[in-house]
Amino acid sequence: MRNRILLMMMVTLLACPFAVVAADPAPITDVAQSPTLSVDALQRWQNMPPAQQEQLRERYREFKQQPPEKQQQLRDRLETFRNLSSEGQQQLKESFARWQKLSPEQKNQLRALNDQLRGLSPEEQQEFRNEAEELRRLSSEERMERRHEIRERFFNRATGGGRRHN
């Protein structure tokens, strides 16, 4: 749940680089009052519906309640996002949208898979990523068969075939 809140705050900060304004319910009318606020950001804020402004204010308050290290982590992620190409930013937004559409069960399955992936050595992680990339080039029938093979090879500890390192 905490990660979901952090992710939502990050997306909010990514979408609105003027979150500083959200801390103060009174709108800034003079850009000189906020030297860190761009004219473009101010215009977007002023054109935003009041309900959306309030939502951003609330998210900003949640952000400020986080420990300083979490705030810094979010700032670092925002900087990483801003340094991505426009294609990379779009891909990240699309991935987030797909994540939001997943059921809780699907999200838990992906989290478990991620935990298992972390248990692999760096070389095995890279090998797994390469295999996953190859899956994208296959037909859906071939993909289903190969997924099963990959899971067996990398993660099936019940048969002793997994490569998990502890």
pLDDT digits (tens, 9 = 90+) for 91-140: 999 999 999 999 999 999 989 888 888 888 899 889 888 888 888 888 88
pLDDT for 131: 86
pLDDT for 150: 82
Look up the pTM and report it.
0.52
Instruction: Compute the chain's Rg from CA coordinates.
Output: 21
Tell me how far apart the alpha carbons of residues 21 and 30 are, in angstroms, rounded to a whole number. 12
Of 46, 79, 101, the one marking the end of a domain is 101
pLDDT for 22: 39
DSSP 32: G
Of 85, 101, 117, the one marking the end of a domain is 101
Same domain (yes/no): 5, 36: yes
Same domain (yes/no): 93, 22: yes
Same domain (yes/no): 84, 164: no
Q: Could you identify the residue written with the tokens 């800034």?
A: 28
Task: Report how many domains make up the chain.
Answer: 2
What token pair was written down for 90?
A: 């779009």
What token pair was written down for 46?
A: 């002023």
Same domain (yes/no): 97, 110: no
Q: Looking at 9-18, 45-54, 62-71, which range is the least confident one?
A: 9-18
Same domain (yes/no): 44, 118: no
131: nearest Cα among 107, 84, 90, 163:
163
Same domain (yes/no): 18, 66: yes
Same domain (yes/no): 69, 145: no
- pLDDT higher than threshold 80 for residue 156: no
Of 45, 68, 101, the one marking the end of a domain is 101
Residue partners of 71: CB distance under 8 A and separation at least 6: 63, 64
Same domain (yes/no): 80, 159: no
Residue partners of 5: CB distance under 8 A and separation at least 6: 62
Same domain (yes/no): 80, 55: yes
Same domain (yes/no): 36, 90: yes
pLDDT tens digits, 6-47: 455 555 555 444 444 434 444 434 333 445 668 888 888 899
With bands split at pLDDT 50, 70 and 90, how would you rate the model's confidence at 163? Answer: very low
pLDDT for 128: 85
pLDDT for 29: 40
Same domain (yes/no): 16, 42: yes
Give the domain extent around 94: 1-101
pLDDT tens digits, 77-93: 999 999 999 999 999 99
Same domain (yes/no): 141, 127: yes
